[in-house]
């Protein structure tokens, strides 16, 4: 009898092992292409020459405490916040007909999270395009969209360029790049991300990599890669590609896109050298004290807008994916409070909604969700110089 039980136990463990290996193999194959490819060869040599590179990786100018898995897992386990919508959101669905050739001199359309269609002085740019269903290398695992993309990917008007801030899955989306590469559009990226794009089939001559404070002309626009305080990585090895923010300077208008960042002294420098900005597009969601050195949070986003010498502020990086512990509507609620106190003009459009400098402030479109359980104390980053 004991021998029979041992035999059955061995059969069970063999079956379990085979199932585990099959699942691991599926996930590996499913994620192999989406993970991309870190710089190697000539691209790696160029990365090493960057002033932002040291000790085998890219680094921030200020010390940055990276998120730690253990405390984060514990916080997620105990979290009670309403982190996802209970029903459909009032998305404004758009088509190519909504974007005629003769666009306003400055118009911004929020397509969800950090994806923005920016029409500025006769040019069209797209930031951090994410049309995929999940921010993940896997087809069936990872944070899922709250709402469909407001503008179908095939309905995009002709673009002059795509700006990428960094290589995290919620900013650099493999299935979206697969479609965009067939349009002939040019990609402007921080150092190292060209290796991902080339691995996915984007021709090298349609990729421009820039380091911080480097710039390039696009017609009569100047695109400037500006400092950010974040991190990178799509697999197990972090910080092999650079992260950046973008200043877009036209003959009549100037805008700023933060990508992902935490508070940094360079906001003041960017504002003094390249501002004032007509519109700042600043990440204001997915914050927490556990990772305060890599994300801004609402109150610090408002302060960053002031340091940048911005005129009108658009909070992004919220309302599309569940990437944090706070209630999903907490970012706009706290932004509105902080902006009112600071006298900042903030606009929070619906997904798919466009606005100009002359547009009226949209009405509150998100539902009232309890978020008072989360401390209203601003999430401050560490290692900041006094007075920032």
Q: Is 54 helix (H, G, I), strand (E, B) or coil?
A: strand
The pLDDT of residue 100: 87
pLDDT at 376: 54
pLDDT of residue 30: 47
**pLDDT computed for residue 66 by the predictor:** 77
141 within some domain:
yes
Longest distance between any two alpha carbons in the chain, whole Å:
86
In a domain, 36, yes or no: no
CA gap 242, 375 in Å, rounded: 33
Tell me which residue range forms the domain holding 176. 48-355
Q: Of 65, 140, 158, whose CA–CA distance to 379 is shortest?
A: 65
Beta strands per DSSP E along 49-190: 53-54, 57-58, 106-110, 116-120, 123-127, 161-163, 187-190
Provide φ and ψ at 110, rounded to 5°: -85, 120
23 part of a folded domain: no
Taking the CB of residue 342, how many other CB atoms lie within 10 A of it? 14
Paired with 246 in beta bridges are 225, 257
Distances (CA, A) of 40 to 121, 145, 164, 190, 192: 38, 33, 20, 15, 9
Domain count for the chain: 1
Q: Are 26 and 348 in contact (CB under 8 A)?
A: no
11, part of any domain: no
Strands 116-120 and 123-127: antiparallel
375 within domain boundaries: no
Give residue 139's pLDDT.
81
> What is the full per-residue pLDDT of the chain (388 aa) written as tens digits?
555 455 454 554 454 444 444 444 444 444 468 999 999 999 999 999 999 999 899 999 999 887 778 888 888 888 888 999 999 999 999 999 999 877 779 999 999 999 999 999 999 999 999 999 999 988 888 899 999 999 999 999 999 999 999 999 999 999 999 999 999 999 999 999 999 999 999 999 999 999 999 999 999 999 999 999 999 999 888 999 999 999 999 999 999 999 999 999 999 999 999 999 999 999 999 999 889 999 999 999 999 999 999 999 999 999 999 999 999 999 999 999 999 999 999 999 999 999 999 999 889 999 988 765 444 556 788 889 888 8
Residue 163 counted as domain residue: yes
Residue 131 maps to a domain: yes
Write b or e for each residue in 236-245: b if 16 or more Cβ atoms lie within 10 A of its Cβ, otherwise e.
Answer: eeebbbbbbb
The CATH number of residue 178's host domain is 3.60.15.10
Contacts of 35 (CB under 8 A, 6+ apart): 137, 234, 235
């Amino acid at each position: 009898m004991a021998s029979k039980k041992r035999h059955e136990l061995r059969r069970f463990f063999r079956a379990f092992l085979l199932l585990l290996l099959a699942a691991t193999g599926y996930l590996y194959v499913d994620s192999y292409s989406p993970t991309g490819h870190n710089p190697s060869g000539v691209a790696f040599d160029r990365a090493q020459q960057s002033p932002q590179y040291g000790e085998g990786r890219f680094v921030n100018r200020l010390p940055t405490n990276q998120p730690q898995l253990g405390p984060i897992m514990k916080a997620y386990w105990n979290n009670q916040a309403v982190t996802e919508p209970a029903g459909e959101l009032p998305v404004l669905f758009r088509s190519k007909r909504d974007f005629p050739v003769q666009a306003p001199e400055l118009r911004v359309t929020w397509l969800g999270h950090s994806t923005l269609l920016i029409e500025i002085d006769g040019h069209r740019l797209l930031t951090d395009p994410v049309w995929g269903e999940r921010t993940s290398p896997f087809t069936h695992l990872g944070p899922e969209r709250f709402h469909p993309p407001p503008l179908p990917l095939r309905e995009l008007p002709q673009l002059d360029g795509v700006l990428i801030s960094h290589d995290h899955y919620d900013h650099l989306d493999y299935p979206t790049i697969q479609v965009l590469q067939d349009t002939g559009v040019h990609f402007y990226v921080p150092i190292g991300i060209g290796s991902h794009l080339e691995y996915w089939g984007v021709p090298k001559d349609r990729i421009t990599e820039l380091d911080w404070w480097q710039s390039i002309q696009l017609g009569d626009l100047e695109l400037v890669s500006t400092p950010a305080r974040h991190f990178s990585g799509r697999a197990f090895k972090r910080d092999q590609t650079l992260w950046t923010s973008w200043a877009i300077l036209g003959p009549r208008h100037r805008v700023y896109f933060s990508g992902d960042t935490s508070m940094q002294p360079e906001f003041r420098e960017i504002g003094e050298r390249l501002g004032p900005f007509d519109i700042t597009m600043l990440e204001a969601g997915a914050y927490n004290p556990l990772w305060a050195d890599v994300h801004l949070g609402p109150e610090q986003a408002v302060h960053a807008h002031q340091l940048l010498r911005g005129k009108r502020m658009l909070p992004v990086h919220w309302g599309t994916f569940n990437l944090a512990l706070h209630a999903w509507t907490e970012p706009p609620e706290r932004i509105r409070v902080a902006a009112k106190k600071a006298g900042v003009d903030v606009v929070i459009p619906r997904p798919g909604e466009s606005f100009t400098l002359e547009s009226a402030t949209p009405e509150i479109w998100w539902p009232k969700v309890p978020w008072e359980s989360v401390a209203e104390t601003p999430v401050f980053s560490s290692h900041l110089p006094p007075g920032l």
